[in-house]
Chains A and B, each alone.
Chain A
Amino acid sequence: MTVLRNVRNWFYERLEWDDLFAFMSKKTVPLHRLSYWYFLGGITLFLFVIQVLTGILLLLYYRPGANEAFESVQYIMTQVQFGWLIRSIHSWSANLMIFTAFAHMFSVLFLKAYRKPRELTWISGVILLILVMGFGFSGYLLPWNTLAFFATKVGTDIAGQVPFVGHAIMVFLRGGEEVTGATLTRFFGFHVAVLPGLVTVLIAFHLLLVQRQGMSVPPRVEKEWKADPSARHELKFFPNFALRELMAWYTGLGVLGALAAIFPWNLGVKADLFASAPAGIKPEWYFLFMFQTLKLIPSKVWLIDGEVLGILAFGLVGLLWLLLPFLECDRVARSKQWITGLSVFALAYVIAMSVYGYVAQ
């Protein structure tokens, strides 16, 4: 025990964590009937950590290259001890992370947590969601299987439709005019270096803002608390909220383990650059609502190419979404209604189009 105390003292003399502990002991989280939505951000962060850890383990065996990628993933899944588990957890965790990131975004929207002074938290969050989808898009190609190959082809083709800069973007993404081994190594670079770097910095910024500004209280709860101050309840962040968050993480770990063991992530068939595309090729579920929308737009709308119009519309909607906190005008009540209506419509649209895209031939 003396040794432990000595070690603790050695660190204490250098770090002096009293301030940090004091901050943590004072930090509180509002406690009300909607508090459980606060866990979504933490669960998304937990899944990101899982992604980083399993990703590092996969890197020990994965070889980026058109002739080796598929075989190396196959090797991981069949020969490496617990390789199947690591790869399946990585894939399931990626999908769950995108799902929880979407859920977190909509919860923030419905709880009005994007309002002043949290505009930057919202903007960094939306950018994080886009980057996370970029993770999904780039990672999907890495096993170099048929579905991934053609989905990437379709995805980069769509990017190529952007007016003026589309072709340049497509060539940049593909590393040439076509999806080849050069695309694979490029996507690998984005997936394991560029995106993790950007996401880590943004997460740090996002968390700093959350710590700095604390948890937002929904307007309706705030109103109730103002009317009846005795109804105001708060939970100590440490250890009470942290332990609950830990429970959520443990539950997430159990769900991940169950999904990986019961539904191991399929590897598919190795990509053949000269084969024709399988019928009914579709992107991953989180791109389905955009893909299905583009499919439904007529090939020509007036004189404009339908696909180009769709891409421009998505670009505009994305920009407005990013700037949503600034769209609330002074007449707060009316703009709140307007934004709530828009949020409900957006959520319904994303769900409906995703389901339609999933069932459509």
Chain B
Amino acid sequence: MAMLRSNRRRFGVTRYFVVLGLLALAASLGYGQTKNSCLDCHSALPEPLGVTQETFSHDIHAQKGLTCVSCHGGDASTDDPTQSMSRKAGWKGKIDRKQIPELCGSCHSNPTYMRQYDPSLRTDQLAQYHTSVHGKRLAAGDSNVAVCTDCHGVHDLRAPNDPQSKVYPVNIADTCAHCHADAQYMKGYSIPTDQFAKYRMSVHHEALEVRGDLSAPTCTTCHGNHGAAPPGVDKVQNVCSTCHVFQAQMYDKSSHKAAFDAASLPGCVVCHGNHDIAHPTDAKLGTGAGAVCMQCHKPGDVCDRARADMLGQITRLDESIKNADKALAVAEAAGMEVGEARLGQNEARDSLTKARVAIHSFKEQVVSQYVQTGLKVANKDLQAGQQAMVERNRRRIGLGLSLIAIAMVLSGLWLYIRKIER
């Protein structure tokens, strides 16, 4: 009896594990998941109706549990296309371009709904879009302008921090250029189509795409994204000043601010350009190629003299730093330790950068203040390099004398050995 009871207990435990195993197997096979019959057919269809499971799996919405039905309506739980794509089941079919912003906004403008996915996500995109050139034109009936899906993609819409997203910082310019660099597409709009080509030559593009600095500006940094619009002549300075704070503060206090405002000149753009902003060089302050001051000022006037003075000061500091660098390099090549002076050179370079920034004050004395600080450091570093070489020579003299002394001792020892072994 006891044996029988034991066998029954063992059987009971086995049955328990078999049931558990079957449940786990069922779970792993996807039983209980929400059925999405749309992809069964659409994954086999050609473009533009084709959407594969693989494509849709990259979509942030799919990853958050949304399905085709969430945007297109219908009933994805049935395999019968007449039922799944029936108007009765709320099927909307292909979303009309004009309806896309409102459809996206139905969720993305709802803070309560969006909070469950990302409490920090903004919900003013649709409101901003309505203020944009794109939004205004769409409202006016121009369906060629960009809507949400043009920039963010559709069916494989990725989160903006995904490097493959169309709105990932390094991809934004390409996304905008898709329309804005297409002369044929932009025909009928009175805006140029060379912005992208120019941007690709700019210092901003180099920083973003070549150096990989994701904080460097791209189209949306200056134009805005959902509320995209040209900054306008009077707003350019505000756009640039979001990053170039010190330059903007100095420019604000300068005589150029009032003069440019009076002449309706677009601030920073007058000297630096816009899309093709190149790395600024000291030549901008000169009188040759690439110089900007003399485009407005006359030779010999008070401003030209101030320009020449600022350029002279900055050139002097630049040359002093380069001379100190050379002296330190020579000392280093000779094996001398000049690490502290090398560190000092960074300080001198900082002063040079500050002096260059101070040009935006258009006051010689402000530039001079930084130049003097930098010169003091650079001269000290130059002396450190030269001193290191003097020290190197002193060491070699010391070495020579020591070697003579050692040679004398060696000779003495050798003579002594010869004497005692004779």
Q: Which residues of A come within 8 Å of B, CB atoms?
A: 74, 77-78, 84-85, 239-240, 243-244, 246-247, 250-251, 253-254, 257-258, 261-267, 269
Partner pick for B413 among A84, A246, A267, A269, CB 8 A cutoff:
A246
Of all chain A residues, the one with the shortest Cβ separation from B413 is A247
Bound CA–CA A261/B416 (angstroms): 30
Known contacts A258-B399, A262-B396; is-contact A240 B417 (Cβ 8 Å): yes
| Residues of B contacting A253 in the complex (Cβ-Cβ under 8 angstroms) | 406
Q: Is the CB of A254 within 8 A of B337?
A: no
Jot down 18 A-B pairs with beta carbons below 8 A, ordered by A: A74-B339, A78-B340, A240-B417, A240-B420, A240-B421, A243-B416, A244-B417, A246-B413, A247-B413, A251-B410, A253-B406, A254-B406, A254-B407, A261-B395, A261-B399, A262-B399, A264-B336, A265-B335
Bound CA–CA A269/B407 (angstroms): 37
Bound CA–CA A263/B339 (angstroms): 17
Bound CA–CA A265/B336 (angstroms): 9
A-B contact count (CB 8 A): 56
Bound CA–CA A246/B409 (angstroms): 10
Q: What are the 3 A-B residue pairs with the smallest beta carbon separation, nearest first?
A: A261-B399, A264-B335, A77-B337
Known contacts A250-B413, A257-B403; is-contact A239 B420 (Cβ 8 Å): yes
Bound CA–CA A77/B398 (angstroms): 17
Of all chain B residues, the one with the shortest Cβ separation from A145 is B339
Which secondary structure dominates where chain A touches chain B?
A: helix
Q: Is the CB of A267 within 8 A of B417?
A: no
Bound CA–CA A164/B294 (angstroms): 76
Task: Report B374-422 residues with CB < 8 Å from chain A CB.
Answer: 395-396, 398-399, 402-403, 406-407, 409-410, 413-414, 416-417, 420-421
Q: Is the CB of A266 within 8 A of B340?
A: no
| Residues of A contacting B402 in the complex (Cβ-Cβ under 8 angstroms) | 254, 257
| Residues of A contacting B414 in the complex (Cβ-Cβ under 8 angstroms) | 247
| Residues of A contacting B410 in the complex (Cβ-Cβ under 8 angstroms) | 247, 250-251
Shortest distance in angstroms between B87's beta carbon and chain A's nearest beta carbon?
59
Bound CA–CA A246/B337 (angstroms): 33
Bound CA–CA A320/B396 (angstroms): 47
Q: Is the CB of A250 within 8 A of B337?
A: no
Shortest distance in angstroms between A309's beta carbon and chain B's nearest beta carbon?
38
| Residues of B contacting A78 in the complex (Cβ-Cβ under 8 angstroms) | 337, 339-340
| Residues of A contacting B420 in the complex (Cβ-Cβ under 8 angstroms) | 239-240
| Residues of A contacting B417 in the complex (Cβ-Cβ under 8 angstroms) | 240, 243-244, 247
Bound CA–CA A85/B398 (angstroms): 11
Q: Is the CB of A261 within 8 A of B396?
A: yes
Count residues of B near A (Cβ-Cβ below 8 Å).
21
| Residues of B contacting A261 in the complex (Cβ-Cβ under 8 angstroms) | 395-396, 398-399
Q: Is the CB of B336 within 8 A of A250?
A: no
Shortest distance in angstroms between B409's beta carbon and chain A's nearest beta carbon?
6
Shortest distance in angstroms between B217's beta carbon and chain A's nearest beta carbon?
26
Bound CA–CA A285/B417 (angstroms): 38
| Residues of A contacting B407 in the complex (Cβ-Cβ under 8 angstroms) | 254
| Residues of B contacting A239 in the complex (Cβ-Cβ under 8 angstroms) | 420
Of all chain A residues, the one with the shortest Cβ separation from B407 is A254
Shortest distance in angstroms between A223's beta carbon and chain B's nearest beta carbon?
27
Q: Is the CB of A263 within 8 A of B413?
A: no
Shortest distance in angstroms between A175's beta carbon and chain B's nearest beta carbon?
27
Bound CA–CA A244/B406 (angstroms): 14
Told that A250-B413, A257-B403, A262-B335 touch, could you supply 17 new A-B pairs with CB distance under 8 A? A74-B340, A78-B340, A84-B337, A84-B395, A247-B414, A251-B406, A253-B406, A254-B403, A257-B406, A258-B403, A261-B395, A261-B396, A261-B398, A261-B399, A263-B335, A264-B335, A269-B339
Q: Is the CB of A266 within 8 A of B335?
A: yes
Bound CA–CA A251/B410 (angstroms): 8
| Residues of A contacting B337 in the complex (Cβ-Cβ under 8 angstroms) | 74, 77-78, 84, 264, 267
Task: Report B327-381 residues with CB < 8 Å from chain A CB.
Answer: 335-337, 339-340
How does the 8 Å CB contact mask read for B155-191 relative to A, with 1 for contact and 0 for none? 0000000000000000000000000000000000000
Bound CA–CA A269/B410 (angstroms): 40
| Residues of B contacting A243 in the complex (Cβ-Cβ under 8 angstroms) | 413, 416-417
Bound CA–CA A239/B398 (angstroms): 31
Shortest distance in angstroms between B332's beta carbon and chain A's nearest beta carbon?
9
| Residues of A contacting B396 in the complex (Cβ-Cβ under 8 angstroms) | 261-262
| Residues of A contacting B395 in the complex (Cβ-Cβ under 8 angstroms) | 84-85, 261
Shortest distance in angstroms between A146's beta carbon and chain B's nearest beta carbon?
12
Of all chain A residues, the one with the shortest Cβ separation from B394 is A261
| Residues of A contacting B399 in the complex (Cβ-Cβ under 8 angstroms) | 257-258, 261-262
Bound CA–CA A257/B405 (angstroms): 12
Shortest distance in angstroms between B412's beta carbon and chain A's nearest beta carbon?
10
Task: Report B312-335 residues with CB < 8 Å from chain A CB.
Answer: 335
| Residues of A contacting B336 in the complex (Cβ-Cβ under 8 angstroms) | 264
Shortest distance in angstroms between A180's beta carbon and chain B's nearest beta carbon?
22
Bound CA–CA A269/B337 (angstroms): 11
Bound CA–CA A254/B411 (angstroms): 13
Q: Is the CB of B406 within 8 A of A250?
A: yes
Bound CA–CA A85/B340 (angstroms): 19
Shortest distance in angstroms between B407's beta carbon and chain A's nearest beta carbon?
8
Bound CA–CA A77/B421 (angstroms): 45
Bound CA–CA A251/B414 (angstroms): 12
Bound CA–CA A303/B406 (angstroms): 60
Of all chain A residues, the one with the shortest Cβ separation from B400 is A261
Shortest distance in angstroms between A260's beta carbon and chain B's nearest beta carbon?
8
Q: Is the CB of B409 within 8 A of A250?
A: yes
Shortest distance in angstroms between A73's beta carbon and chain B's nearest beta carbon?
9
| Residues of B contacting A265 in the complex (Cβ-Cβ under 8 angstroms) | 335
| Residues of A contacting B406 in the complex (Cβ-Cβ under 8 angstroms) | 250-251, 253-254, 257
Shortest distance in angstroms between B343's beta carbon and chain A's nearest beta carbon?
10
| Residues of A contacting B335 in the complex (Cβ-Cβ under 8 angstroms) | 262-266
Bound CA–CA A253/B413 (angstroms): 15
Of all chain B residues, the one with the shortest Cβ separation from A246 is B413
A74, A239, A250, most chain B CB atoms within 10 A: A250
Of all chain B residues, the one with the shortest Cβ separation from A258 is B399
Shortest distance in angstroms between B346's beta carbon and chain A's nearest beta carbon?
13
Bound CA–CA A247/B398 (angstroms): 21
Of all chain B residues, the one with the shortest Cβ separation from A270 is B339
